[in-house]
Amino acid sequence: MNTRDELHLATGAYAVDALTGDELQRFERYLAESEDARTEVRGMFETAALLGSVAAPITPSPRLKTTLLGLIAVTPQLPAIGEKTVAEPSRSTASPQPVLLQPVLPQPSAEQPRPELSMSSNSTVRAKVQSLWFARPTSIIAAAAAVAALFFGGNLVVTSMQKVELVRTQAGALATLSSASDVQKRVQPVAGGGNATLIWSSELNRSALVISGLPTLDLGKTYEAWYINASGARAAGIFDATRAGDSWHVLDGTMTATDAVGITVEPGGGSQQPTTKPIVALTRE
């Protein structure tokens, strides 16, 4: 990771604190020099916070804690690779017993502090993302993967490489949209419960929906988004709700100033025109 192009590819990894050591230092030097990189990282932070905020917190069960502590108690702890170890000699004349090796911890080094970059708004967003990580584990796993363009899981079930590529493309489009200089958002209740957030950029002519509390549908049905204006409705893509009732979708096609965005329930595969009443319709005003 030395060229500027290679460094720029690490924006997603930086957004989820996946860079360490020399890579982190090289990237932060690049970040201090590149306005494009700072804008992209800021958009990824905001995308992670947005995706994480649509899911309800999940409290781990007491059984999970008990099981985890039990495994820790019986699992041998090995020293870190490359660290020196010291074994206590046996004082007994009996057959030697296994000795647990204890790693010799390295002494702290006088490293230079991590540089502070002139990205004041990012520090607030990063703190929000980090707090959401611990508050909403399953949804933030998905969010972190999205901003890293490696969106494989969370509440989504990916069953093929084609779906993986589709979600990666959608995640990148959502990050680009969220980082647009003119991005705007509007929230509207959904019929039957939940809320839909419309995100759009007039400069990009693109839009996206982030929805919470959306129920899963019976087999053979799907949600479909539409651009709606005086001329009629234009299909903007089909999508499904996750098992947790949260979903997001970057709309197909372009959004004009006169378009509203609606969602209907359609037969599997979608329809050319709406066949049911919208469960929500959002306008830009």
pLDDT band at 279 (very low <50, low <70, confident <90, very high): very high
Q: Which of 175-179, 259-263, 264-268, 275-279 has the lowest mean pLDDT?
A: 175-179
More confident residue, 281 or 136: 281
Tell me the domain boundaries of the chain: 1-55+121-179, 182-285
Following DSSP, what letter does each residue of 202-255 receive, concatenated?
TTTTEEEEEEESPPPPPTTEEEEEEEEETTEEEEEEEE---TTS-EEEEPSS--
**pTM of the predicted structure, to 2 decimals:** 0.49
Question: Helix, strand or coil for residue 38?
Answer: helix
pLDDT for the residue 240? 83
Tell me which fold the domain 182-285 belongs to: Immunoglobulin-like (2.60.40)
CB neighbours (10 Å) of residue 42?
20
Predicted local confidence at residue 173, as pLDDT: 81
Report the candidate in 150, 149, 148, 132 with the shortest Cα–Cα distance to residue 140. 132
Q: What is the dihedral of CA 115, 119, 123, 125, to 10 degrees?
A: -150
Phi and psi, residue 224, nearest 5°: -135, 135
Q: Which two tokens stand for residue 279?
A: 């469960």
Residue 118 has pLDDT above 70, yes or no: no
CA dist 143 → 41, 88, 110 (Å)? 14, 46, 35
What is the per-residue pLDDT across 13-67, written as a single tens digit (0 to 9) for each?
787 777 788 888 888 888 888 888 888 877 777 666 666 655 555 666 777 766 7
